[in-house]
Amino acid sequence: MIVRTFLKEKIAHLLKELWNEEVPIPLLYPDQPKFGDYATSVAMALAKSLRQKPLDIARTMAEHWKWQDICTVEVAPPGYLNFFVQDSLLGALAQEEFLHPHYGKSTLLSDKKILLEYVSANPTGPLHIGHGRWAALGDSLARILSYAGAEVWREFYVNDAGNQIRLLRETIQAVREKREIPENGYHGAYIADVAQQNEDPVQYILSWQKETLKNFGVEFDRYFSEKSLHESGMVQKTLDFLTSKGVAYASEGALWLRTTDHGDDKDRVLVKSDGEYTYFAVDIAYHQDKIKRGFRSLYNILGADHHGYVKRMEAAVWLLSQADGVETDFRIIIGQLVSLYRNGEPVRMSKRTGDMITLEEVLEEIGRDALRYYMVMRKADTHLEFDIEEAKKQSEENPVFYVQYAHARICGILRNLPPSLPKVQGGVIDSPEARLLAIRLLRFPEVVQDAALALEPHRIPQYLEDLASVFHKYYTVHRIITEDLEKTAQRAILVRATKNVLALGLHLIGVSAPERM
RNA sequence: GCGCCUGUAGCUCAGCUGGAUAGAGCAACAGCCUUCUAAGCUGUGGGCCACAGGUUCGACUCCUGUCAGGCGCACCA
C-alpha cells in the first residue's frame, strides 16, 4: 500500500463528510520525527472558507479520524495534523512489500504510451559530455516511467540527411583525396580517423556513437533515420496534409507554417524558396510519424542550446494534433548544458575546431557508475559545471559510492547470517533508528511516482542518499547479528528490505549495486 | 533589443509544486575500529535563500522590477 495516497484519500473523505469541502490535500514529510511521518496543513488553508480557527478544524478532524490501525494522528499548532504510521504496519510491510522484487512498481501511468526521444545527436562527430547528460537523463527517465506503469518507447533521431551531412561527406572526401578541407568543413582530430575507414562516414560515426552509448549503459528501441522520412514520402505527405488543413501557406516563394497560432513569435518556413525542406519540416514529419504510430505522449529531451526551437515545435505538434483530431501530450524537457573544465580552465567543445573532449574519454576517466550518477543527481535545468580533474579526484568521494557502499555493506552482513533463523513474529521495529529506516522504505513508491510525474530523475539519487544515510546510522548504532537468533531474524528483515530498495533505486538510474566493495 | 534557464554555506547542489528552527556532500577542525565492510559514524564552525517591492494567516517557493551568469534569437541543422 502507498500510505501517502491512503492518507490523502481519507483526509479528503473527512473534509467532504464534515464540511462538504473538496480541496487539494497538501501532504508533506515533516523534517522532525516529533511532527510525525506525514503531515498536512490543510486546516490552515480551510480556515478562511470555514470561518473557523485552523486549530479547531484540525481538532475536529482528529476527533473523527478512524484509521488508527494505519496511522495515529496528533494536532499541532497552528493547525497541523501530524500522522504517525503504526509500527505494527511498518513491520508487516517490511516482511512483505519492501522485500518484493518489484516493490514500488505501479500502474499510475498505465494508460500512457510514451515515445521518449533523447540524445538525437548529429552523426557528424563524437558525442560530448552534454550528450552524456541527456543520455543518462533519458535512460533513467524511461526506466522510471516504465516502473510507474507507462509503456515507453525510446528513440534516437538520426539526422542523416541535410547540409551538415553533405558537409561531412565533402570533408571526408577531401581528406581522402588529400585536398584542402572545404570552407565550414569539419576539423576535429577524429576526421582523420573517419577518413581512413573503408566505410560510409555517417554509418561509421553512428556506430561509434552507439558503441559509446552502449558502454554508458544507454540503449534505444530504435534509431530513427531522418533519411527514411524523405524516402518514404512522409515529409511531402505531412506538408500536403498541413496545407490542406490551411495551417501551411505559400508566401514569398516559400511554404510557411502558422506557428503564431500557438505561441510562436513568427511563422516558420517549411519549404525554402529553393524548393528544399527545412530541418523543421522534416522534424514535423517525424512527429507526425510518431502520432501515426499511436503515441499520444511525445516526450523529448532537448539540449538547452536548442531551446529556441521549443515554441515552434510545440506549435507544430499542436497543429498536427488539431488537424488529426487527436489529443497529444507533448512535453519538452530542456537539459541545460554541461560546462566542461579541466583544472579550472574551460574546455571548448566545438566539433569544427576539434578541440574537444568526448563523452567516450570522460567515461573512460570517470567510470560508468560515477558518471551516470553525477549526470542524473542534479535537476535537468541546472547549469552543470563539470571539472574533469575535480571529478576524477572526487570519484572516491562521489555520492554514488556512498549509496553503493550501503548496499555492499548489507551484502556483507547477509553473507554472515547464521544458516537458519527462526520465523519472525513481529517486533521488526525495535528502535527509533529502525523506525526511521522503515519510514524511508515506505516512501520509496511515493518517490518513484513523484519522479515519474514531474519527469525528474534526480529525485531518485536524492532519495537514495537519504536512505543510505539513515541505514549507515542504523548500522552504527545497532548490531544485526547477535547470539539472540530471534532478534537477529527480526533485524535481518529490515536490512534485507533496505538492500532491496537500494538495488531497485540504483537500477532505476542505471547504476550497478555491487555486492562487495 | 527579445526569449528560455539559473542565482541558497568557501565549493557542488537539494529543498517534497505556499507551511513548523532552510538541508546534504565536499573542504576545515575535534573525536570513534579486539565484535556484522571506517568508501562509515558523532560533534563544531559556516546563511540578509542575488537585490527591491508585492500577494498571503504564512514566501527559498507565486507575481513585478533590477542586477549578474549561461544559452538561444535563419528560407542553418
Whether pLDDT at A494 is above 70:
yes
φ and ψ at A95, to 5 degrees? -80, -20
Count of CB atoms within 10 A of residue A236's CB?
15
pLDDT value at position A183? 82
For A184-205, how does the pLDDT look when each residue is reduced to its tens digit (9 = 90+)?
A: 888 888 899 999 999 999 999 9
CA–C1' nearest nucleotide, residue A465: B24
H-assigned helices in A38-189 = 42-50, 54-63, 87-95, 129-147, 163-176
Q: How long is the CA A468 to C1' B43 vector, in angstroms?
A: 20
Element (H, E) at A114: strand A113-117
Distance CA A336, CA A137 (A): 11
The model's confidence at residue A426, banded by pLDDT at 50, 70 and 90, is: confident
**Cell numbers placing A357:** 573532449
Please name the residue whose C-alpha is nearest to the C1' of nucleotide B4.
Answer: A307
- Determine contact, residues A357/A128, Cβ cutoff 8 Å: yes
Q: Which residue has the higher pLDDT, A342 or A417?
A: A417
How far in angstroms lies nucleotide B11's C1' from the CA of residue A314? 38
Q: Across the strands, what pairs with A225?
A: A158
Average pLDDT of the segment spanning A288-304 = 96
pLDDT of residue A279: 95
Residue A286, pLDDT above cutoff 60: yes
Q: How far apart are CA A502 and CA A461, in angstroms?
A: 10
Tell me, what's the pLDDT at A355?
57
Return d(Cα A450, Cα A98) in angstroms, integer: 18
Please provide residue A168's backbone torsions phi and psi, each rounded to the nearest 5 degrees: -60, -45
Residue range A141-181, pLDDT digits in tens:
999 999 999 999 999 999 999 889 999 999 999 999 999 88
Q: Is nucleic acid strand B under 7 Å from A449's C-beta?
A: no
What share of chain A in percent tops pLDDT 90?
A: 83
For residue A477, which amino acid is it? V
Strand B and A241 CB separated by under 7 Å: no
Separation in Å: B68 C1' and A282 CA? 39
The C-alpha atoms of residue A350 and residue A339 are separated, in whole angstroms, by: 12
Straight-line distance from CA A152 to C1' B38, in Å?
42
Average pLDDT over residues A86-97: 95
Q: Residue A493 pairs with which residues in a beta bridge?
A: none
Checking if the pLDDT of A182 tops 90, the result is no
Distance CA A44, CA A327 (A): 38
Contact A424, A490 (CB under 8 A): yes
Per-residue pLDDT band at A139 (split at 50, 70, 90): very high
Residue A81's SS3 state is strand
pLDDT at A26 over 70: yes
What's the alpha-carbon Rg for chain A, to the nearest Å?
28
Contact criterion met (CB below 8 Å) for A116 and A142: yes
The gap between A136 CA and B58 C1' (Å) is 39
Report the protein residue whose CA lies nearest the C1' of nucleotide B25: A399
* pLDDT at A349 (0 to 100): 55
A515 beta carbon to strand B: under 7 Å:
yes
Q: Nine-digit cell at A401?
A: 559510492
- Interval A101-112: pLDDT, tens: 999 999 999 999
The candidate with the shortest Cα–Cα distance to A432, out of A469, A465, A472, A474, is A474
Residue-wise pLDDT for A345-401, tens only, equals 777 655 445 556 889 999 998 899 999 999 999 999 998 888 777 777 666 678 999
- Strand B–CB A397 distance below 7 A: yes
Q: Which three cell numbers stand for residue A402?
A: 556512498
A278 in Cβ contact with A309 (< 8 Å):
no
| For residues A491-495, average pLDDT | 95
Tell me how far apart the alpha carbons of residues A460 and A29 are, in angstroms, rounded to a whole number.
Answer: 16
Q: Is A328 helix (H, G, I), strand (E, B) or coil?
A: coil
Residue A125, CB, less than 7 Å from strand B?
no
Task: Please calculate the CA angle A209-A213-A215 and round it to the nearest 5 degrees.
Answer: 120
**In chain A, what percentage of residues exceed pLDDT 70?**
97
Is the separation of the CB atoms in A225 and A158 below 8 Å? Answer: yes
Find residue A298's DSSP bridge partners: A115, A330
Rounded CA separation A61/A68 (Å): 13
Structure-block grid coordinates of residue A143: 526506466
Which DSSP state fits A510? T
- Asked if strand B comes closer than 7 Å to A478 Cβ, the answer is yes
Residue A450 is predicted with a pLDDT of: 95
Give the Å distances, CA to CA, from A405 to A4, A141, A397, A515. Answer: 29, 24, 11, 9
Average pLDDT score, chain A: 93
Sign of CA dihedral A6, A10, A15, A20: positive
Predicted model pTM: 0.95
Q: Closest nucleotide to A334's CA, by C1' atom?
A: B5
Q: What is the pLDDT, as a whole number, of residue A393?
A: 67
Give the distance, in angstroms, between residue A42 CA and nucleotide B18 C1'. Answer: 11
> Which residue's C-alpha is at the least distance from the C1' of B57?
A44
Q: Is the CB of A45 under 7 A from strand B?
A: yes
> Which residue is nearest to the C1' sugar atom of B23, using CA?
A31
Nucleotide nearest to A381 (CA to C1'): B5
